[in-house]
Structure 1
Amino acid sequence: MAKKILFLVGDYVEDYEVMVPFQALAALGYQVHAVCPGKKAGEFVRTAVHDFEGDQTYSEKRGHNFTLNYSFDEVNEHEYDALVIPGGRAPEYIRLNPRVLEITRHFFTANKPVAAICHGLQVLAAAGVLNGRRCTAYAAVGPDLPLIGAEYHELPADQAITDGNLVTAPAWPAHPAWLAQFLKVLGAKIEIEPQTEAVPA
Structure 2
Amino acid sequence: MARLLLIAGDYVEDYEIMVPFQALQAMGHSVDAVCPDKREGDKVRTAIHDFEGDQTYSEKPGHDFTLNATFAEVEMADYDGLVVPGGRAPEYLRLDERVLEMVRHFFEHDKPVAAICHGAQLLAAAVSLEGHRVSAYPACAPEVRLAGGDFAEIDVDQAVASGKLVTAPAWPAHPAWLKRFAAMLD
Answer yes or no: same fold by TM over 0.5: yes
Taking the aligned partners of 1:129 and 1:78, their CA distance within structure 2 comes to 21
Displacement of 1:130 in angstroms is 1.2
2:42 corresponds in structure 1 to 43
- What does 1:1-201 correspond to in 2, within 5 Å? 2-187=1-186
1:45-78 Cα shifts (integer Å, max 9, x gaps): 0000000011110000000000000000000111
Aligned partner of residue 141 in structure 1, secondary structure: helix
The CA deviation at 1:128 is 1.9
The structure whose RCO (Cα within 8 Å, separation 6+) is larger is: 2
The superposition leaves residues 114-141 of structure 1 with CA deviations (integer Å, 9 ceiling, x where unpaired) of 0000000000000023122111100000
What secondary structure is seen at the aligned counterpart in 1 of 2:146? Answer: helix
Contact 2:144 2:151 (C-alpha < 8 Å) held by counterparts: yes
Give, in whole Å, the separation in 1 of the partners of 2:54 and 2:121. 23
Consecutive unaligned residues in structure 2, runs of 5 or more: none
Distance (Å, rounded) in 2 between the aligned partners of 1:11 and 1:148: 25
SS at match of 1:145: helix
- Contact 1:108/1:129 (<8 A) preserved: no
Distance in 2 of aligned mates of 1:100 and 1:131: 20
TM-score by length of 2: 0.98
Alignment coverage as a number of residue pairs: 186
**Separation in 1, partners of 2:34, 2:20:** 14
Q: CA deviation at 1:113?
A: 0.4
Q: TM-score, normalised by structure 1?
A: 0.91
CA offset digits 1:69-105 (Å, max 9, x no partner): 0000000111000000000000001110000000100
> Conserved in 2, the CA contact under 8 Å of 1:115 and 1:167?
yes
Q: Which amino acid aligns with 1:8?
A: I
- CA shift, 1:160, in A, is 0.3
Between 131-140 and 13-22, the greater mean CA deviation after superposition: 131-140
Once residues 88 and 6 of structure 2 are traced to their aligned partners in structure 1, the CA distance between those partners, rounded to angstroms, is 15
Structure 1, gaps ≥5 residues long: 188-201
Runs of 4+ in 1 over 4 A off after TM superposition: none
Aligned-pair RMSD on alpha carbons? 0.7
